[in-house]
Structure 1
Amino acid sequence: MGNAPSTLTQYDIEEVQEHCNKLFNQQEIVSLYQRFCQLDRTAKGFISSDEFMSVPEFAMNPLAQRLLKMVDGLNFKDFVGFLSAFSAKASVEQKAALIFRVYDTDGNGKVTFNDILEVLCDMTGSFMSNEEREAVLTQLLQEAGYTRESYLIPDDFVKIFANSDTKMEVEVPVD
């Protein structure tokens, strides 16, 4: 599996399965590898941010710039590891951990009012004013038992995500 894309061996597939906690079966790993090779246009063994932006669904995501910080330069194993949070078999904790990383842009292990406000701004763009966003977020936090001065930790995201109906799943097409 080295630097340049090549054929996956059974050992490679099993290694990738272990890395992603067996959330993808062998067929799905092979399909993901084919997609990885398509995205890795220069066959360097990793996907650049420009190559990620060539995926329309990714480019259209209002959080694309935040996600790019997480995915730029991923090799195949880490690419599958990143995608494993989107597996239907992923636990609430795995999904919440990914969402937490999206919000915790400075990586300090805490999500503040301003962190959430930045994400909300990315998601709403010019459809809401800063004042409207702040008012909505303040009310939402109050309803959840938090204040503007509170900060959220990963466990808070697990609790919030466990109590929501949010689906964060991607189906891997198998040839």
Structure 2
Amino acid sequence: MGNTSSMLTQYDIEEVQEHCNHTFSQQEIVSLYQRFCQLDRNGSGFISAEEFLSVPEFAVNPLSQVNGVASDLKHPHEIKRLLRMLDGLNFKEFVAFLSAFSPHATLQQKIEFIFKVYDSDGNGKVTFSDMLEVLRDLSGQFISEPQREQVLTHVLEEAGYTKNSLLGLSDFMKILGNTGLKMEVEVPVD
């Protein structure tokens, strides 16, 4: 699987399915592999942030735009956060990343993905500041900083936490576990 010019074997497909907890069918994995090979323009077996930014669908995505201008790697956090997670992934890791968006992913898998987005330094804890940064990225200029802080403080208090709480994955499970969290994409099968 390291060489993207080779074809996937049945063993490779089953190994990737196992790695992503069977969130994708074998046919979907083959389609994802073809897309991965298209992204891996230099044939290294890994995709870079730059290669991912070459996806036309991503280029027109609102998250890749800042003030109406297409982002590059010098632009703000919302794009950098996801690109950091994608940069340097091999095929198996790429599918595991996408598996959080599968309709077959469990709520826990989706919450684990969200936790990784918030835990930008990877220390296993999310602070008020981490959450405020994501909220700032999502709300832009539509909400003032004091309003963001007030909303976030209220949400935390509703869940039994304070501004000084350090949240772990289990805390995210508690907060998001009863929501109707829906984040799904369809993998086109050729």
Name the TM-score, length of structure 2 as normaliser.
0.86
Are 1:123 and 2:121 an aligned pair? Answer: no
Q: Which moved more, 1:142-151 or 1:95-104?
A: 142-151
Q: Within 5 Å, give how 1:1-175 maps onto structure 2.
A: 1-59=1-59, 60=61, 61=63, 63-175=78-190
Matches of 1:111 and 1:58 in 2, distance apart? Answer: 27
Gap regions ≥5 residues in structure 1? none
Matches of 2:26 and 2:147 in 1, distance apart? Answer: 47
Residue pair 1:49, 1:72 contacting (<8 A) in 2 also: yes
1:126 offset after TM fit, Å? 1.7
Residue pair 2:28, 2:187 contacting (<8 A) in 1 also: yes
1:100 offset after TM fit, Å? 0.4
Q: Tell me the matched-pair count.
A: 175
Matches of 2:57 and 2:183 in 1, distance apart? Answer: 14
Matches of 2:109 and 2:4 in 1, distance apart? Answer: 29
Q: Over residues 117-159 of structure 1, what are the superposed CA-to-partner deviations in whole Å (9 max), with x where a residue is unaligned?
A: 0001111112222112111111221222211111211011122
1:4 offset after TM fit, Å? 3.6
Name the TM-score, length of structure 1 as normaliser.
0.92
Residue pair 2:107, 2:181 contacting (<8 A) in 1 also: no
Structure 1 residues 36 and 109 mapped into 2: Cα distance closer, same or farther (>3 Å)? same
Q: Over residues 93-128 of structure 1, what are the superposed CA-to-partner deviations in whole Å (9 max), with x where a residue is unaligned?
A: 111111101001111111111010000111111222
Residue 71 of structure 2: aligned partner? none
CA RMSD of aligned residues (A): 1.5
Report the identity percentage.
67
Q: Over residues 24-82 of structure 1, what are the superposed CA-to-partner deviations in whole Å (9 max), with x where a residue is unaligned?
A: 11100101011111111222211110111223554532632111111101111110111
Residue pair 1:58, 1:64 contacting (<8 A) in 2 also: no
Gap regions ≥5 residues in structure 2? 65-77
Residue pair 1:112, 1:149 contacting (<8 A) in 2 also: yes
